[in-house]
A and B are shown apart, each in its own frame.
Chain A
Amino acid sequence: MSVCVAFASRSSRIGMAVCAAGLVGLVAAPLWGGRDDLQLLSEVYAYVALASLWNLLAGYAGLVSVGQQAYVGLGAYILFALAILLGVSPLWAIPLSGLIAAAVAVPVAALVFRLRGHYFAIGTWIVAEVFRLLASQVSPLGGGSGTSLPAAVIVAMAPSRQLRDFLQYWIALALVVAVLAMIVLLLRSRYGLALKAIRDSELAATCNGIDVLRTKVLVYIVTAFGTAMIGALIFLQKLRVSPDSAFSVNDWTAFVIFITVIGGIGRIEGPIVGTVVFFLLRQTLADLGTIYLMMLGLVAILVMLTAPKGIWGLVVERFGWQVFPLERRVVFDERSAARE
């Protein structure tokens, strides 16, 4: 009897086809969308990527961090430092910021991994605060009040303003696709199998010979790499960086956590669904200001208490859909199955 493991299912084949078609439409967005549309979409991509990375960290590796703004801000500051002080093109500065942040994440992991569970969460927050306070001491980058990207740096990226808009949009799209692809590939690898085992039961995973700590550290570093690149991109689009905006716990962690929980934690589709809900709410309720933030917090609490697997969790329970080919299922060969 021949047996093999399959990732794809009917829903994932349909899902991937829909994604591919959607991607073609999004790549062509400069043809059908205005400047505002492109900016909004870029922002959506940034949040999809940040939430997907946080989901990898918290949903799969069980590392609930409330300090991911450390890497958003670090990426932003590395981009500005490379571009302003060393004259590196922002296009090169984005991957470089990811690599440097990943290198920084190694000693940081050595420290914060000494804290367990809840304490890990607040420990990561303190690291982010340390980064913020250090950033405000860097006077070549404006100290506490921050700095702007010089016009020459931006003009050097592309000759016309329109082309620059298109370029930045495509970079954002390319980054979110790359981040999602990286997560899908990671989850399909043996590390992915280890991660799912850890998600379901750390004890059982250890008993099966998985090096839990090593896997978690790996995920922490990969997440820092991706988060810093997204941070660099976000502030390349804003053209201005300051310690308070780059290391904002509300913008880069609270929203990201709410998005992931509302969409569905521990599933790759969750952050995407959550981001769509987040932006729909924001576009309709943003005028309410602080009330909107309170409502967002309330919705996240209610989802956590009543449907902890989020919107996509409910969809999976009801229909069993998966958009990305991730679930391992054992498939028996047809003929041998008939003989059984």
Chain B
Amino acid sequence: MEWTNVILQGVLVGGLYAMFAAGLSLIFGVMRLVNIAHGDLIVMAAYVALVATQSLGIGPLTSLIVVVPVMALIGYALQWFVLNRTLGEDLLPPLLVTFGLSVIIQNGLLTLFTADSLKLQAGDIEVATIRLTEGIYVGILPLLQFVVAIAVIAGLQFIFYRTALGRAFRATADDPAVAQLMGLDNRHVFALAMALSLAVVAIAGVFLAVRANFDPSQGPARLIFGFEAVIIGGLGSLWGTFAGGLILGVAQAIGAHLSPGWQILAGHIAFLVVLAVRPQGLFPKVRT
């Protein structure tokens, strides 16, 4: 019973990790860019939500109406003005520029909001639980977060494979030159992909801020969790990424249950084991 509970909590947290990972996976899929500032953008979204709740007097979950479009706009602008200039054969420019952005965002947040740990208050929903069976309770908020994570992955899957925008993403990913010949503006497509990625980041950031304390230094750890979920799940598969998030969440929950110091380490070890045994990930997309 004790272990069922541990694993269940791990699965629910894993939904959050899947959201961290989905934005990362999307960007890499479309333009082969790994955004090192991804985690810092998640934390930044949490601060945007903080400002929105305080200035507009709305709850954190309602603030998504503001935070998602704001982050999407930032994503579009970031890609259009900065990151599009870094794309090409050379690996270094995108890595260095996003690494620089990470340092800038971290220190910018530190200047504006200090290093104090904060949390968004969502009210009664935070403590509400459902009883599944004897001794197993599930919080409404973690459950909601898990359902939202599934909805986000399903939504991305739908956009990718059922819409004109998704077709543009896939075409540009397959062959940017030919996509351009077919009348697509790659810069615009990439900027839309980044906007979509940061819209997901916004949702993840708000849930992060409601679930736990956050401060400006937390970004890199979020990036690493997202990255581990992507690699565990296998490149190029959104549902694989989702599964990767759950596995990471469960590994961390088991580690934390054994010893508090082992929580994060257990997640890293799960990642390294997958890398050693099955480097293509557990559910890689089969390219035909």
Contact of A118 among B34, B82, B228 (CB under 8 A): B34
Assess the A254–B103 pair: CB atoms within 8 A: yes
Determine, out of B90-98, B147-155, B239-247, the stretch whose residues face the partner at the interface.
B90-98
Contact of A294 among B90, B104, B224, B261 (CB under 8 A): B104
CA distance A297 to B106 in the complex (A): 11
CA distance A317 to B139 in the complex (A): 63
Contacts of A308 in B (CB 8 A): 90, 92-93
Interface size on A, residues (CB 8 A): 41
Assess the A126–B86 pair: CB atoms within 8 A: no
Assess the A118–B108 pair: CB atoms within 8 A: no
Residue of A nearest to B38 (CB): A122
Interface size on B, residues (CB 8 A): 42
Assess the A126–B94 pair: CB atoms within 8 A: no
* Interface assignment of B276: CB less than 8 Å from any CB of chain A: yes
**Interface positions of A from 226 to 261, Cβ below 8 Å from B:** 249-250, 254, 257-258, 261
Chain A nearest CB: distance from B283 CB in Å? 17
* Interface assignment of A337: CB less than 8 Å from any CB of chain B: no
- Residue-wise interface mask of B (259-284) relative to A, using a CB-CB cutoff of 8 A (1 in contact, 0 not): 00100110011011001100100000
Chain B nearest CB: distance from A309 CB in Å? 11
* Interface assignment of A167: CB less than 8 Å from any CB of chain B: no
Given contacts A122-B36, A122-B227, contact A62 B275 (CB under 8 A): no
* Interface assignment of B85: CB less than 8 Å from any CB of chain A: yes
Q: Is the interface of B mostly helix, strand, loop or mixed?
A: helix
Q: Is the interface of A mostly helix, strand, loop or mixed?
A: helix
CA distance A305 to B100 in the complex (A): 12
Assess the B96–A293 pair: CB atoms within 8 A: no
Assess the A111–B36 pair: CB atoms within 8 A: no
* Interface assignment of B220: CB less than 8 Å from any CB of chain A: yes
Contacts of A111 in B (CB 8 A): 272, 275-276
Assess the B103–A297 pair: CB atoms within 8 A: yes
CA distance A294 to B101 in the complex (A): 9
Determine, out of A43-51, A128-136, A171-179, A186-194, the stretch whose residues face the partner at the interface.
A128-136
Assess the A133–B227 pair: CB atoms within 8 A: no
Assess the B224–A297 pair: CB atoms within 8 A: no
* Interface assignment of B111: CB less than 8 Å from any CB of chain A: yes
- Residue-wise interface mask of B (162-198) relative to A, using a CB-CB cutoff of 8 A (1 in contact, 0 not): 0000000000000000000000000000000000000
Contacts of B279 in A (CB 8 A): 114-115
Contact of B95 among A66, A130, A294 (CB under 8 A): A66
Contacts of A136 in B (CB 8 A): 261
Assess the B97–A133 pair: CB atoms within 8 A: no
- Give me the interface of B with A, judged by CB distance under 8 Å: 28, 32-34, 36, 82, 85-86, 90-97, 99-104, 107-108, 110-111, 220, 223-224, 227-228, 231, 261, 264-265, 268-269, 271-272, 275-276, 279
> Could you jot down 17 A-B contacts, CB within 8 Å?
A58-B92, A66-B95, A114-B275, A118-B94, A122-B224, A126-B228, A126-B268, A137-B265, A144-B261, A257-B96, A261-B92, A294-B107, A294-B108, A297-B107, A301-B101, A304-B93, A308-B90
- Give me the interface of A with B, judged by CB distance under 8 Å: 58, 62, 64, 66, 111, 114-115, 117-119, 121-123, 125-126, 129-130, 133-134, 136-137, 144, 249-250, 254, 257-258, 261, 265, 290-291, 293-294, 296-298, 300-301, 304-305, 308
